[in-house]
Amino acid sequence: MTIQEMVYIVSDSVGETAELMVKAVASQFFGKDVEIQHFSYVEDEQDINNVITVAKYRPSIIAYTIVLPDLKDYLDQRADEEQIIAVDLMHPLMNAFSQKFNMEPNRQPGQMRKLDENYFKRVEAIEFAVKYDDGQEVRGLKQADIVLVGVSRTSKTPLSMYLANKQFKVANVPLIPEVPPPKELFEIPRKKCIGLIISPEKLNEIRRERLKRLGLTNSASYASLNRIFEELTCAEDIMKKIGCPVIDVSNKAIEETADIILAMFNKRGSFA
């Protein structure tokens, strides 16, 4: 391969998908990356003409991802006129989807990038939930979209992770009678805070099962009803001081509790 040979990547978005495919194919021929030039965000026939003008004077291939039919057809026509090889990387598979699933594509450029942005937002939210789980780094409370408070075993952590998968940054704080709640809890807008309560009987059942899995006896104060009543009373007093909404999670799945929280947000635009 000489330095004059080139692959032009043409896209109505960034062109990342096309570049990955071109490099994968080039590796089967040259054992290294092919020389590539990008023409991103092409919008009209003039943009296509610019590509053709450059490409026709060099040994080259045009590899493109263009979802707009008129623009695609114009590129095919101009490439054919100038005897330039132009390879459509998307439409064969799009046509297969349409035929098999009886659907039409929305033909909107940049959809993959939107998916990527959502992915990275989700990862960021999950990392946030891990970092600020169980009262760690209380400074994160002011950065959170949602702050969950409640006694131990009210599903704060799994609920945080579930909401993080929906791109919410969630911190959670355990409420323990012997440990004063962080002052930051009373400094953040109450609309961000959600209190989780549970019936004493249900919590006793959950904690007894927890002790059993850990190989401990049920005599531990952690699972005693007296201790549970003390914790719940203390937690409810703190929630009242915060002024946050409270959800009873006694017989609710994680998804159900999350739906209630999201419904509060969607209805009021906040959690207040």
Give the residue numbers of the binding site for ADP: 150-157
106 CB burial (10 A radius; 0-12, 13-18, 19+): exposed
One DSSP character per residue, 106-122 reads: ---TTHHHHHHHHHHHH
- Residue 216's φ and ψ, nearest 5 degrees, are -105, 160
Please, what is the end-to-end C-alpha distance for the chain in angstroms?
65
Nearest residue to 101 (alpha-carbon basis) of 111, 110, 109, 93:
93
Stated as kind and residue range, the H or E segment containing 171 is strand 170-174
Q: Side by side, which strands form the sheet with 193-197?
A: 170-174, 146-150, 193-197, 246-248
The answer to whether 73 touches 5, Cβ cutoff 8 Å, is no
Distance of alpha carbon 212 from alpha carbon 187, whole angstroms: 39
Q: In the Cβ-directed half-sphere of 177, how many Cα atoms lie within 13 Å?
A: 10
Please list the residues that pair with 9 across neighbouring strands: 38, 63
The answer to whether 141 touches 147, Cβ cutoff 8 Å, is yes
Please list the residues that pair with 172 across neighbouring strands: 148
Q: What angle do CA 61, 16, 6 make, to 5 degrees?
A: 25
Binding-site residues, please?
150-157
